[in-house]
């Protein structure tokens, strides 16, 4: 299997596990959401959540009072989003074919998904739907490796596919339609138990596409590690995360 084939399998692996994704994936810190939309000034704004998944970012946008349209290609993921955020306009579609008219949104935000897009096709399409001066912002949650036990857990949670994970931080590609690149990071936490942290890892694409035998070994290794550490051995704990945000403006 080529690297592109594996990447495609990973990109399409989430739908069969949509309910687990909705249950176990973290949301996004509100300060990160506010920073992403800061150039627009006071809201509310018309915001397109692109590659919206089960609505992990959608929820924060709604809480901030924005008018949200969620676009997601996977039917099962979109159904979960509607189940949790029934008031949101939810549409099937992709970054390469966005089902909204030209120049009708103030911002396009992307949570944990920009690395699955084809930027050559997606960036002109995003530029098409944005109003001049609008914002494109991509957000990613990742482990906070500055915390020693978290860094050690990351090593325990590697699969044979994890070496491909540098794709998760593919920068927003430069394009003539966009300007004013900016970056920021935010601290975040996700309340977990040892079992729910293992379940969270099992919603990541690298764990979804490996053989059943390797997944069983991965889960046993993670459980043994978490049982061995005082920070995670008993009850609930906060999983430290870092949220990365990358922001561009639509040229006027």
Mean pLDDT of the chain: 91
The DSSP symbol for 211 reads: -
User: Number of folded domains in the chain?
Assistant: 1
pLDDT score of 206: 82
Model pLDDT for residues 193-252, shown as the tens digit of each residue: 999 999 999 998 888 887 889 999 999 999 999 999 999 999 999 999 999 999 999 998
Predicted pLDDT at 19: 87
Which residue from 100, 98, 55, 97 is spatially nearest to 76, judged by alpha carbons? 55
Q: Residue 167 — pLDDT band, cuts 50, 70, 90?
A: very low
| 154 in a structural domain | no
What average pLDDT does range 113-125 have in this prediction? 93
Asked whether residue 92 is domain-assigned, the answer is yes
Q: Concatenated DSSP letters for 22-73?
A: HHHS----HHHHHHHHGGG-SS--EEEEET-TTSHHHHHHHHTT-EEEEEES
pLDDT tens sequence across 28-59 = 999 999 999 999 999 899 999 999 999 999 99
Please give the Cα distance from 5 to 172 (Å, whole number).
Answer: 22
Question: What pTM did the predictor assign?
Answer: 0.91
Provide the token pair at 249: 């403006």
Cβ contact 73:52 at 8 Å: no
Question: What are the tens digits of pLDDT across the range 16-27?
Answer: 668 898 999 999
pLDDT in tens, 169-183: 555 667 899 999 999
pLDDT at residue 99, as a whole number: 98
Residue 151 located in a structural domain: no
End-to-end Cα spacing for the chain: 43
Residue 159 lies in a domain: no
Closest C-alpha among 102, 122, 105 to residue 114 = 122
Q: What is the pLDDT of residue 197?
A: 98
Residue 166 scores a pLDDT above 60: no
Q: Give a three-class secondary structure readout of 117-152.
A: CCHHHHHHHHHHHEEEEEEEEEEEEEECCCCHHHHH
pLDDT at 211: 84
Q: In CATH, what number is assigned to the domain containing residue 178? A: 3.40.50.150
Integer Cα distance of 197 and 193 in angstroms? 6
pLDDT of residue 13: 58
Whole-number pLDDT of residue 7: 59
Provide the pLDDT confidence category of residue 156 given band limits of 50, 70 and 90.
Answer: very high
| Residue range 63-83: mean pLDDT, rounded | 97
Domain with 76 in it = 3-143+170-190+238-250
| Beta-carbon contacts of residue 102 (< 8 Å; ≥ 6 apart) | 128, 129
Radius of gyration over alpha carbons of the chain, in Å?
Answer: 18
């Amino acid at each position: 299997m080529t690297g592109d084939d594996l990447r495609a399998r990973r990109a399409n692996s989430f739908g069969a596990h949509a309910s687990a994704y909705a249950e176990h994936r973290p949301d996004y810190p509100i300060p990160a959401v506010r920073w992403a939309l800061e150039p627009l000034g006071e809201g509310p704004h018309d915001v397109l959540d692109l590659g919206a998944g089960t609505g992990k970012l959608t929820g924060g946008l709604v809480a901030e009072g924005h008018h949200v349209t969620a676009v997601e290609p996977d039917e099962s993921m979109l159904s979960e989003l509607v189940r949790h955020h029934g008031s949101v306009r939810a549409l099937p579609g992709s970054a390469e074919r966005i089902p909204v008219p030209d120049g009708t949104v103030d911002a396009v935000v992307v949570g944990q998904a920009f690395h699955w897009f084809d930027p050559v096709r997606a960036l002109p399409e995003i530029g098409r739907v944005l109003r001049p001066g609008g914002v494109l912002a991509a957000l990613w949650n990742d482990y906070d490796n500055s915390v020693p036990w978290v860094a050690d857990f990351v090593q325990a949670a590697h699969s044979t596919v994890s070496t491909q994970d540098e794709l998760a931080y593919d920068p927003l590609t430069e394009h003539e339609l966009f300007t004013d690149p900016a970056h920021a990071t935010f601290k975040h936490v996700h309340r977990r138990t040892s079992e729910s942290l293992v379940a969270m890892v099992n919603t990541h694409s690298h764990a979804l596409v490996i053989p059943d035998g390797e997944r069983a070994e991965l889960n046993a290794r993670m459980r043994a590690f978490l049982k061995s550490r005082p920070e995670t051995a008993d009850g609930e704990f906060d999983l430290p995360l870092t949220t990365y945000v990358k922001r561009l403006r639509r040229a006027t």
